[in-house]
Structure 1
Amino acid sequence: MEKQIINTTNAPAPIGPYNQAVKAGSTLFISGQIALNPESGKLETDDVIVETHRVMQNLRNILSEAGMDFSDVVKSTIFITDMNDFSQINEVYGKYFSGYFPARETVQVAALPKGVNVEISMIAIK
């Protein structure tokens, strides 16, 4: 099976020893994305709605680089630091999908990189 590294300047550069995504065959594994603006390099964490939109935009840009979109996503994992933010995050997340939603879990964690409130990873298949 062929493995291809996917990186785009339209999403934040990795902050550690990993890639934005790896495509193995027809399956794309996207690393967890946070609300880092790839153009300014600044976090967009004014509120959890703005933050979630930035995360989803970063994910969309990685999907696009791989020739995919949200309709190809089969699995998402959402990590949040406060389950009280779940409904707002869920509302924003849902706006990026039409038709069928992927399988998903949402997990509350003690902390996330750079002190963000939400991180989302995805698996997509074309």
Structure 2
Amino acid sequence: MEVINTSGRRKTSVARIYLSQGEGKITVNKREFADYFPSEVLQIKVQQPLELTNESGKYDIDVNVQGGGINGQAEAVRLAISKALCEINAEHRLTLKPEGFLTRDPRMVERKKPGRRKARRKFQFSKR
């Protein structure tokens, strides 16, 4: 099996992954996976597609992720892994699609408008 290269995005985070045959080692930005995502919730979020398709421990994943916060990065990695698993075996799509792991979440932070404090926040108004 050759190396599979996919990318995933969430908010302003972009994750590029290189998935190859191996023993289940995940490195994120040249650091240990558990070291980069210290929260157990984020670790579970990243491993969800592998657990769902029973592919955990079969592939080595090298991740480059940048931009955004730690939660957005974890969800970007999850999308990239899901896309890579579908490239390996098209039948994985049937299990990943209903869970929403193949859907790019388009929600972004709304920009600040001129004359306002935030995107929608208006200044305090008093009638008197």
Q: Which of structures 1 and 2 has the bigger CA Rg?
A: 2
Q: TM-score, normalised by structure 1?
A: 0.32
Structure with the larger strand share: 1
